[in-house]
């Protein structure tokens, strides 16, 4: 399970770094237009979906580790 938690943290940090890098690029011209706002919303949605997928996989791994009753 520690291996999975470490993998989940790495995936989360990678997605967060990607999102922050894209935000930095958009804010570099100091102009927050409509397209930038859409891109920010899409980035946060992608991060949220990625976290949900990771949590589903984590839950599936926990269920697989439970003894059969």
Q: How confident is the model at residue 49 (pLDDT cuts 50, 70, 90)?
A: confident
Domains in the chain: how many in total? 1
- 4 assigned to some structural domain: no
Split at pLDDT 50, 70, 90, the class of 31 is: low
Domain carrying residue 41: 18-63
pLDDT (tens digit per residue) in 1-18? 567 667 777 777 777 777
Burial state string for 15-36 with b = 16 or more CB within 10 A and e = fewer than 16: beeebeeeeeebeeeeeeeeeb
pLDDT of residue 8: 74
The pLDDT of residue 27 is 66
**Residue 37 domain-assigned?**
yes
* Average pLDDT rounded to a whole number, residues 32-40: 72
- Cβ-contact 65, 51 below 8 angstroms: no
Instruction: Judge whether 5 lies within some domain.
Output: no
Nearest to 44 by CA among 56, 55, 36: 36
């Amino acid at each position: 399970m520690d291996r999975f938690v470490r993998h989940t943290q790495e995936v989360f940090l990678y997605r967060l770094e990607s999102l922050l890098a894209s935000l930095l690029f958009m804010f570099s011209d100091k102009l927050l237009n409509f397209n930038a706002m859409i891109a920010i919303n899409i980035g946060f949605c992608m991060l949220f979906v990625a976290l949900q997928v990771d949590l589903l996989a984590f839950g599936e791994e926990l269920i697989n580790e439970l003894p059969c009753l």
